[in-house]
Amino acid sequence: MKILHTSFECHPIAKVGGLADVVGSLPKYQSNFDVESFVVMPFYENSYLKKKKIVEIKKGAIDLNGISYQYVVYKFKPKDISYSVYLIQIKDLLDTENVYGYINETQRYIGFQKAVLDWIKSEDLTFDVIHCHDHHTSLIPFFIKHCSEYKCLENTPTVLTIHNAQYQGQFAHDSLNLLPQFDFNNVGLLDWYGSVNPLAAGIKCATKVNTVSPSYMEELKKNAAGLEGLLSSESDKFHGILNGIDTAVWNPETDGSISKNYRVGNVISGKKANKTALCKKYGLDPELPLFGFIGRLVYEKSADLLADVIRETLLKTKELNIFVLGSGNEEIEAQILELKEEFKEHFNAYIGYDEELSHLIYAGADFLLMPSRVEPCGLNQMYSLRYGTIPIVRRTGGLKDTVVDIGDGGFGICHNQATIWDISYSIGRAIELFKDQKSFRKIQKQIMKIDNSWDKSAKEYVDLYKSI
């Protein structure tokens, strides 16, 4: 079976968040099930790609509202990736350093999707399934079903994976002329409450739709940033498949980004060495329990509550250290930076994106905070488990599906509300657990053995492909 994944992110080529981790690892694990996967993504002018050897395989052109853009498709199969990646370069449209944050986002997404289909069509390529990830590529199912230009692809089944329904890619009807020509009787398929809504169009037109955890699927039927009615009515084709993690990349035994490698057998000395390295670099005392936070500093992650939680906790007790790695909302970034001055020996943060540092935190921290308001799946908690770092999570989405509270016979610390009180209370529970070193060490070992690999979920995706 041949599958084409279409995405704007793919680790290690270009990553903003978990979408990249999933698109970068799922194809690798699908090959265990007789599936040959390919990824097609934009070519970015970033430092990773600048150093790589890529081969030009095709040139073509697309039209966006009367303006013609030349595109070039490159093929890329480096040693650190076991599947082929196709990179689409579109000059003056996609040739940016970063993935998101440009004013012409709609043009970028539509231009990319047109180029993907033009390339498939002109090269006569066949895929058994086109697998679209998030709203950036979720117009493809509509294009191949309803645009005469791509009629030859109309029988290709499509899967749409919703990694995060908060982002839907809406734009005004005025911009409909960016799309390929379609029978106007079908305009309703594009519309959702007066806007063109690519995610909604994908849900309506894809053969199958899934999201990245069973609990998030159920939550979306009740609350999906306006799409709940649609997801309920399309529930027959809607599935929840829990993400897995790439256990080759996220492995404390071999991880090249941490100070000392370790396994279950020497977790105590291993984590101690990593904690010491992290604490030394950031002026913290390694004897105290260390709480980490890694993530986008946005409302969905409850990052707006972090500063108050940290201040309240550290004013009450100095029995802990906290380290934050993240970037996002400027106001939240400023709040975090302010805390650095206020609690010099107990709090530190790195505002920015740093993949290496994230690995050191997973390895060196004792607890990982994830109080998310919305968490479709969440990968951080699964990485932290593998590195023997106890997750503190809000019971929502994928966090609910992957972390069980110690009080319920599990291994994590869970709370229900995204409130300062609930999060602070959980931190208090963690401090108490840390004092009971015997129980703490037992859980540390237990969580490192939990299997969150792709093995089961990669097969669920393959079964989904087979069903269509």
Q: Going residue by residue from 150 to 189, which x/- string records binding to ligand GLC, judged by CB under 6 A? A: -------------xx-------------------------
Report the residue number, 85 or 361, with the smaller CB distance to ligand ADP: 361
SS3 helix, strand, coil % of the chain, rounded to 5?
A: 45, 20, 35
Shortest separation between residue 40's beta carbon and ligand GLC, angstroms: 18
Among 13, 190, 212, 314, binds ligand GLC (CB under 6 A): 212
Nearest to 22 by CA among 449, 428, 461, 467: 461
User: Can you tell me which residue has the tokens 């194809």?
Assistant: 27
- CA atoms of 437 and 431, how far apart (whole Å): 11
Residue 35 contact partner, candidates ligand ADP, ligand GLC, none, CB within 5 to 8 A by sort of partner = none
Shortest separation between residue 403's beta carbon and ligand GLC, angstroms: 13
Please give the distance of CA 84 from its chain centroid, rounded to a whole number: 21
The angle at the Cα of 179, spanning 86 to 99, to the nearest 5 degrees, equals 45
Could you tell me the two tokens for 201?
Answer: 């169009």
With contacts defined by CB under 6 A, how many residues of the chain interact with ligand ADP? 18
Nearest to 84 by CA among 148, 137, 31: 31
Q: Which residue is nearest to ligand ADP (CB)?
A: 18
Q: Are 343 and 307 in contact (CB under 8 A)?
A: no
Q: Going residue by residue from 383 to 402, which x/- string records binding to ligand GLC, judged by CB under 6 A? A: ---------------x----
- From the list 15-23, 110-118, 234-242, 316-324, the region that binds ligand GLC by CB under 6 A is 15-23
- From the list 34-42, 260-268, 322-330, 402-410, the region that binds ligand ADP by CB under 6 A is 322-330
Of 12-71, which residues contact ligand ADP (CB under 6 A)? 17-19, 21
Could you tell me the two tokens for 215?
Answer: 């609990």
- CA atoms of 160 and 163, how far apart (whole Å): 9
- CA atoms of 333 and 304, how far apart (whole Å): 9
Count other C-beta atoms under 10 Å from residue 261's C-beta. Answer: 16
Q: Per CB under 6 A, does 376 bind ligand GLC? A: yes
Q: Are 344 and 321 in contact (CB under 8 A)?
A: no
Q: Which residue is nearest to ligand GLC (CB)?
A: 18
Shortest separation between residue 246's beta carbon and ligand GLC, angstroms: 12
Of 272-301, which residues contact ligand ADP (CB under 6 A)? 294-296
- CA atoms of 290 and 46, how far apart (whole Å): 34
Shortest separation between residue 245's beta carbon and ligand GLC, angstroms: 10
Q: Going residue by residue from 354 to 393, which x/- string records binding to ligand ADP, judged by CB under 6 A? A: xx--x------------------xxxx-------------
Residue 296 contact partner, candidates ligand ADP, ligand GLC, none, CB within 5 to 8 A by sort of partner = ligand ADP
- CA atoms of 250 and 423, how far apart (whole Å): 27
In this structure, the chain runs to a length of 468
Residue 292, beta-bridge partner list: 323, 368
Q: Per CB under 6 A, does 451 bind ligand ADP? A: no
Q: Per CB under 6 A, does 328 bind ligand ADP? A: no
Q: Per CB under 6 A, does 252 bind ligand ADP? A: no
Q: Per CB under 6 A, does 377 bind ligand GLC? A: yes
User: Can you tell me which residue has the tokens 């539509």?
Assistant: 110
Among 25, 137, 207, 243, binds ligand GLC (CB under 6 A): 243
Residue 391 contact partner, candidates ligand GLC, ligand ADP, none, CB within 5 to 8 A by sort of partner = none
Residue 212 contact partner, candidates ligand GLC, ligand ADP, none, CB within 5 to 8 A by sort of partner = ligand GLC
Residue 354 contact partner, candidates ligand GLC, ligand ADP, none, CB within 5 to 8 A by sort of partner = ligand ADP
Residue 380 contact partner, candidates ligand ADP, ligand GLC, none, CB within 5 to 8 A by sort of partner = ligand ADP
Distances (CA, A) of 337 to 326, 346, 349, 392: 11, 13, 7, 23
In terms of DSSP H, where are the helices of 407-468?
A: 420-435, 437-448, 455-467
DSSP state letters, 30-60: HGGGT-EEEEEEE----HHHHTS--EEEEEE
Interface contacts to ligand GLC, rule CB under 6 A: 17-19, 22, 163-164, 212, 243, 375-379, 398
Interface contacts to ligand ADP, rule CB under 6 A: 17-19, 21, 294-296, 325-327, 353-355, 358, 377-380
